[in-house]
Amino acid sequence: MAAPGAAGSGFLFTPDGFLLTNSHVVHRASLIVASFSDGLQQMADLVGEDPDSDLAVLRVGQTSVPPAVLGSSSTLSVGQLAIAIGNPFGFQATVSEGVVSALGRTMRSQSGRLIEGIVQTDAALNPGNSGGPLVNSRGEVIGVNTAMIMGAQGLCFAIGIDTAKYVAGRLIKDGKIERAYIGVVGQNTPLPRRLAAFHGLELRSAVLVVGVEPGSPAERAGLQERDILVELNGVALDGVDTLQRVLSEHASGVPTDAFVLRGAEKYLITIVPASRPVH
């Protein structure tokens, strides 16, 4: 997949020609050409992009290339096989193999927003791999390759496919995603069974607050580092993907109730999400 002055990777994920790639691959492109493994080249239309998650959806005409099968990133385990497919430095359909090195990482998108639920892998990525699929041993897409750390070896990152599925659906429907913002950095954390049972929670995991931005709605509401968010706006939070979805669907400026665990105690706090600040 290429735009003037840039090149990257992508993959079909529906039979009717929708493609998934990174936002930074196609951002501000005036012309996008999609090249397929069978040699076909087609003009691609930008359906929508979300710089906050570094994802974009394109659409092409009819093609004989079958769509990728989407798996799940919520069931991944550290150490399982991970295979990256893409076009590094223009070498089409290059495959590199590695393992899932870590789960639940965070990284900052080019818009300045932290992307949670990142999959870390040691499958080799290079410039041009961006937007390509990360697949498991069954050939199911488990992530969208997005970044590597220059000068490091074996430190590569992909956006979890569960996040990508949600973002792609919203982009197909609305062409963009507007998010409310509370100003926390969170990560998935197991919820001790005894603690969950004591408070009547049917959750195995929740969102651990690892950072609270100064002056944010979360700080004004009294949220603290090491708090565990278990519910927001009536939705049980089993991880950061769910938190992002709730905020994406919640209007800024509207108060919402949140339940947090602080130590062994459960607290109700009221947060007023704001429009995400521009960085």
**Tokens for 41?**
């080249």
**Would residue 122 show up in a list of annotated catalytic residues for this protein?**
no
Has 64 been annotated as catalytic? no
| Residue bearing tokens 């002056």 | 215
Residue pair 157/117 in contact (Cβ under 8 Å)? The answer is no
CA 139 distance to own-chain centroid:
20
27 is catalytic: no
Point out the catalytic residue in the list 130, 205, 227, 241.
130
Q: Which amino acid would we find at residue 105?
A: R
Tracing tokens 């519910």 back to the chain, one arrives at 231
Residue 147's H or E segment, with its range, is: strand 140-148
Tell me the Cα Rg of the chain: 19
Q: Supply the DSSP string of 104-171, one letter for each residue.
A: EEEEE-TTSPEEEEEEEE-S---TT-TT-EEE-TTSEEEEEEEEE-TT-SS-EEEEEHHHHHHHHHHH
Query: Which position among 9, 23, 24, 96 bears the catalytic label?
Result: 24
Which member of 9, 23, 53, 54 is catalytic?
Answer: 54
The residues annotated with a catalytic role in the active site are 24, 54, 130
